Amino acid sequence: MTHKFKFLAFLSLAVLLSTASWSREKTYDGSLPKVHIIATGGTIAGASTDIGYDAGKVSIETILQAVPGLTQYAELDYEQFCNIGSQDMNEQIWLPLAKRVNQVLACGHYDAVLITHGTDTMEETAFFLNLTVHNPKPVILVGAMRPSDAVDADGPSNLLKAVQTAVKPDAVGKEVMCCLGGRIYEAGAAFKNDTHSLDPVSETSVDWYLPHNAATGFFIEDLQELPEVGIVYGYGSGSTTALEAFVNAGYKGVVFAGVGDGNLNRAALDLAGRAAKNGTVIVRSSRIPYGGVYTEGGEVDDERLGFIASGSLSPQKSRILLMLALTTTRDIGTIRSYFRHGVSER
Ligand code: ASP
């Protein structure tokens, strides 16, 4: 993506978000926009316990009752898709969820989809949907850091912000968005970087910006599962046990959350190099959230070893891109180009 395009993308999001006074958007026939809510759980659906709270306990109906003003902005309906803490989110939910979002948006009745979701893995689900939803209508994930029964719960105000954003005409044609801390973030850049703050998301710079539409991403309608891809975390005096375990278990790919600029220690480098030669796809990412990992100018010879540099993608987003990429190809050059340039107009 060129700097100019990046700037335009940033500018359009900034304009969308800076609309301070929220008007009631009307459709051409004067009716309110229609928003479908898919509830998956999270702290926004959490209930207090003796030690803290449990995520994914309260129904979407109860959550919506706490925000009666929402119906000023949109005609809402909802479904309880699942009710879990997002630490339990996985491919067996992501695939049907993406299919459901595609189905809801394709039926023509709805202007946008909201998904209530835990914050722990929200960026992963958002990124997954961004690569698998083929409709430019807004898709927004919304969560909270305090459970629904907290006196100062943040879920209601985040929901309001998400609905207000979803009905704006200029929310169409964006990436999948996340709403937390009263702000909107796009899937490619968003990552949770604070375990407790009410505003726990930051943005990293991105190499490519990919609004979801008919021509972008991967088509998952016929998929029931995804290839297994694991993540190995790098650290000083790092052991190769985890890498070896993934390779021996037959994982199709491994993302290495390397130290610094995506570096692996000598033993891990040798093992990963052998694994790559034997067909395991190795992506080199970093445990550092900013700056990215690139083949050019680094210490690792990706070309010789057969590795793929993650570019600006975090290990967890690299894993998602690699799983989806492996459903279509095992060609390292093609997968490299996805990491470098995104997945559009294939
Ligand atoms: N563990 C919770 C979840 O991700 C945390 C949250 O929602 O903030 O579901």
Look-up of token digits 């978000």:
17
Q: What is the mean pLDDT of residues 313-341?
A: 97
Atom of ligand 1 nearest to the CA of 84: 9
Residue corresponding to tokens 């990552």: 191
Q: Report the amino acid identity of residue 209.
A: Y
Distance from the alpha carbon of residue 222 to the mean position of ligand 1, in angstroms: 30
Measured from the Cβ of residue 257, the count of other Cβ atoms closer than 10 Å reads 23
Given this model, what pLDDT does residue 97 score?
Answer: 98
| pLDDT top residue among 220 and 346 | 220
Q: Nearest CA to 40 among 124, 119, 115, 120?
A: 115
Q: What are the two backbone dihedrals, phi and then psi, of residue 242, each rounded to the nearest 5 degrees?
A: -65, -45
AA identity, residue 148: S
> Which residues are registered as beta bridge partners of 326?
none
Q: Which of 16-20, 141-145, 184-188 is predicted least confidently? A: 16-20
Distance in angstroms (rounded) separating the CA atoms of residues 153 and 198: 10
Angle in degrees, CA 87, 284, 328, rounded to 5: 75
**From ligand 1's centre to the CA of 330, what distance in Å?**
34
Residue 345 near residue 215, CB atoms below 8 Å: yes
- pLDDT tens readout for residues 255-277: 999 999 999 999 999 999 999 99
Q: How far apart are the first and last CA of the chain?
A: 16
In the predicted model, is pLDDT for residue 15 greater than 70?
Answer: no
Q: In testing the pocket of ligand 1, which one of 57, 86, 145 has its CB within 8 Å of the most ligand atoms?
A: 86
Distance separating alpha carbons of residues 43 and 173, to the nearest angstrom:
29
Q: Which atom of ligand 1 is nearest to the CA of 46?
A: 7
Q: Is the pLDDT of residue 280 over 50?
A: yes
Tell me the pLDDT tens digit for each residue of 135-168. Answer: 999 999 999 999 999 999 999 999 999 999 999 9
| Residues classed as catalytic | 43
Smallest CA separation from ligand 1 atom 7, residue:
118
Q: Is the pLDDT of residue 250 over 50?
A: yes
**Burial environment of residue 46 by CB neighbours within 10 A (0 to 12, 13 to 18, 19 or more):** buried
Residue ranges around ligand 1 (CB below 6 Å): 42-43, 55, 85-87, 118-120, 143, 145
**What is the 328 CA–ligand 1 centroid distance (Å)?**
32
7 Cβ contact list (under 8 Å, min separation 6) = none
Q: What is the dihedral of CA 41, 43, 49, 50, to 10 degrees?
A: 150
Which tens digit of pLDDT belongs to each residue from 70-115? 999 999 999 999 999 999 999 999 999 999 999 999 999 999 999 9
Q: Which residues pair with 142 in a beta bridge?
A: 116, 179
69 and 22 Cβ atoms separated by less than 8 Å: no
Query: Hey, what amino acid is at 141?
Result: L
Q: Which of 83, 84, 42, 39 is nearest to 60 (CA)?
A: 39
Q: Are 129 and 93 in contact (CB under 8 A)?
A: no
Please tell me the distance from the alpha carbon of residue 224 to that of residue 43, in angstroms, as a whole number: 28
Amino acid at residue number 323: M
Ligand 1 atom at minimal distance to the Cα of residue 200: 8
Q: What is the atom index within ligand 1 of the atom nearest the CA of 122?
A: 4
Per-residue pLDDT at 29: 74
Ligand 1 centroid, distance to 344 Cα (angstroms) = 31
CB atoms within 10 A of CB 137: 21
The sign of the torsion formed by the CA atoms of 196, 202, 208, 214 equals positive
